[in-house]
């Protein structure tokens, strides 16, 4: 029950700032993230949350240090028991049946506030009744809900094994629904995610867009003869569509990133397509600033990399669904296409190169990206948490 005297603060004292709450005391804060096994958009959000609350420990299912940014080396990371299981780090996917129990095993009894960064299990933590749990939701668990059928189709396994997996997914879906009321407040990373939270969880949420470090990206006067795409190479991101399109066109395409779909994608690609592998943030900034345009063929919950391309002054050619519809202004910062087919994507690219319908101003494109910068995220999250904790 909330303290009825919370509004009668001593007028000579200002409320604790988020920074001060992160330092400890009765307002002590903890962070929890699904797993630290890769560096993607969700992990960049976690980094910024850890900047806001620098003394907050970070709980997680497992921590694969070599796969994430050095930023986390200075943080207190508390993994679950999966970390010590045989091949628990290298083959952590094997332990999916234990992940619900693992996330519930974390002890938050010493914390007054917990912020979860979640796209799967992290929001299922168990806290005391007086602990406030705020979930920054990247998406309702993709393979449980809106991507379930495609996920099963993409598994290269015998049918009877897929049926077994589907049975287990149904069990996890039930667990996922049972944990929804463990969250006191939901933050959605986009209006797209907000709608999914409402549809699947029947919960309201507040939209706070993810942080994009726009200062790392600069407009370049040097333009090279290639298009660019990349990120974590997984089937749902539809890099296969980009490869098929550029195979037909014979135009240079560079792809950065690693992931489980890499081998299949390499087999598909012709010689005009170059795989850059895992690249540094500095290298990515260089490739983005010099490309014709960034290709964004997938439906994303938000799409940080597309905004990074705009922060480099480059237009984005994107599928007209999901987060791209909230970040890209058609005809001004990029081009939105309506069908995930190579024919439509090829038509847009050819018109972009040879019959330009739009004139793209790099300065205006970068200005649009600045709406999603890191300082804006820090301010909005801090104000949101302040409001909740001081009510």
Answer whether 294's CB lies under 8 Å from 229's CB: yes
Candidates 286, 284, 277, 272; CA nearest to 257 is 277
Same domain, 137 and 50: yes
pLDDT of residue 111: 95
Model confidence at 7: pLDDT above 70: no
CA dihedral sign, ordered 186, 189, 190, 195: negative
Three-state SS at 274 = strand
Percent of the chain with pLDDT over 70: 87
pLDDT value of residue 221? 81
Domain assignment present for 161: yes
Confidence of residue 6 (pLDDT cuts 50, 70, 90): very low
Does residue 272 fall inside a structural domain?
yes
Residues 125 and 255 in one domain: no
* Mean pLDDT, residues 324-341 taken together: 96
For residues 351-379, one letter each, b for 16 or more C-beta atoms within 10 angstroms of the residue's C-beta and e for the rest, the string is ebeeeeeeebebeebbebbeebbbebbbe
Say if residue 243 is in the same domain as residue 380.
no
d(CA 318, CA 336): 5
Identify whether 201 is part of a domain: yes
Angstrom distances, CA of residue 126 to CA of 131, 157, 204: 10, 34, 20
276 and 368 inside one domain = yes
Please report the pLDDT score of residue 74 as a whole number: 85
Q: Which domain covers residue 61, as residue numbers?
A: 18-210+374-390
Asked whether residue 92 falls in the same domain as residue 221, the answer is no
216 close to 242: Cβ distance less than 8 angstroms = no
Same domain, 157 and 29: yes
Whether 13 is covered by a domain: the verdict is: no
Is 6 a member of any domain?
Answer: no
The mean pLDDT of 222-251, rounded to a whole number, is: 94
> What pLDDT score does 93 carry?
75
pLDDT of residue 241: 97
- Residues 22 and 151 placed together within one structural domain of the fold: yes
Q: Which residue, among 289, 287, 294, 313, has the nearest Cα to 368 in the 3D structure?
A: 313
Q: What's the pLDDT score for residue 279?
A: 93
What is the spatial distance between Cα 195 and Cα 109, in angstroms, rounded to a whole number? 32
Q: How far is CA 98 from the centre of its chain?
A: 23
CATH number, domain with residue 297: 3.40.50.2000
* Counted domains in the chain: 2
- Confidence band, pLDDT 50/70/90 cuts, at residue 40: confident
CATH code at position 60: 3.40.50
Whether 247 is covered by a domain: the verdict is yes
Q: Are residues 93 and 185 in the same domain?
A: yes
pLDDT tens-place string over residues 182-227 = 999 999 999 999 999 999 999 999 999 999 999 999 999 887 899 9
List of E strands, the chain: 29-33, 58-60, 77-79, 113-118, 132-137, 185-188, 206-207, 227-230, 253-256, 273-277, 294-296, 316-319, 334-337
Tokens 């991101």 correspond to 237
pLDDT at 9 over 80: no
Per-residue confidence (pLDDT) for residue 369, from 0 to 100: 97
pLDDT for 21 beyond 50: no
pLDDT of 10:
37
Tens digit of pLDDT for each residue in 42-79? 999 999 999 999 999 999 999 988 878 788 888 999 99
199 and 258 belong to one structural domain: no
Same domain, 305 and 187: no
Same domain, 154 and 267: no
SS (H, E, C) 362-382: HHHHHHHHHHHEHHHHHHHHH
The answer to whether residues 48 and 186 belong to one domain is: yes
pTM of the model: 0.85
Predicted local confidence at residue 171, as pLDDT: 85
Q: Is residue 276 part of a domain?
A: yes
Tokens of 369: 């990206």
Structure-derived torsion over alpha carbons of residues 183, 390, 205, 72, reported in degrees to the nearest 10: -70
Flag whether 5 is in a domain. no
Give the pLDDT score at 71: 81
**Cα–Cα distance measured from residue 34 to residue 117, given in angstroms and rounded to the nearest whole number:** 7
Helix, strand or coil for residue 178? Answer: helix
pLDDT (tens digit per residue) in 246-257: 999 999 999 999
């Amino acid at each position: 029950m909330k303290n009825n005297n919370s509004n009668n603060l001593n007028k000579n004292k200002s409320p604790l700032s988020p920074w001060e709450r992160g330092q400890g005391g009765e307002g002590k804060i903890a962070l929890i993230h699904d797993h630290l096994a890769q560096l993607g958009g969700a992990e960049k959000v976690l980094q910024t949350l850890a900047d806001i609350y620098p003394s907050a420990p970070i709980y997680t299912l497992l921590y694969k240090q070599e796969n994430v940014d050095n930023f986390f080396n200075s943080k207190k990371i508390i993994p679950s028991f999966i970390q010590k299981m045989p091949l628990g780090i290298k083959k952590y996917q094997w332990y999916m049946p234990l992940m619900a129990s693992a996330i519930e095993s974390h002890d938050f009894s010493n914390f007054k506030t917990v912020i979860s960064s979640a796209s799967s299990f992290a929001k299922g933590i168990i806290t005391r009744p007086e602990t406030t749990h705020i979930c920054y939701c990247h998406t309702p668990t993709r393979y449980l809900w809106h991507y379930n059928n495609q996920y099963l189709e993409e598994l290269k396994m015998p049918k009877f094994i897929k049926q077994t997996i589907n049975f287990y997914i149904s069990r996890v879906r039930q667990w996922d629904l049972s944990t929804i009321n463990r969250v006191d407040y939901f933050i959605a990373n986009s209006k797209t995610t907000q709608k999914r939270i409402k549809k699947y969880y029947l919960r309201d949420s507040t939209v706070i867009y993810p942080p994009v470090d726009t200062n790392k990206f600069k407009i370049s006067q040097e333009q090279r003869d290639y298009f660019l795409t990349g990120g974590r190479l997984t089937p749902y991101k539809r890099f296969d569509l980009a490869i098929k399109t550029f195979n037909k066109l014979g135009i240079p395409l560079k792809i950065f990133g690693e992931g489980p779909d890499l081998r299949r994608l390499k087999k598909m690609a012709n010689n005009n397509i170059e795989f850059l592998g895992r690249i540094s943030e500095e290298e990515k900034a260089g490739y983005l600033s010099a490309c014709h345009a960034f290709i964004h063929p997938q439906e994303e919950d938000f799409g940080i990399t597309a905004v990074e391309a705009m922060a480099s002054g480059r237009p984005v050619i994107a599928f007209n669904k999901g987060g791209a519809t909230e970040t890209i202004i058609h005809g001004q910062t990029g081009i939105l296409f309506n069908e995930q087919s190579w024919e439509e994507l090829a038509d847009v690219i050819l018109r972009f190169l040879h019959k330009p319908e739009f004139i793209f101003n790099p300065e205006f494109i970068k200005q649009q990206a600045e709406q999603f910068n890191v300082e804006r995220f820090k301010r909005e999250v801090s104000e949101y948490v302040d409001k909740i904790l001081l009510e």
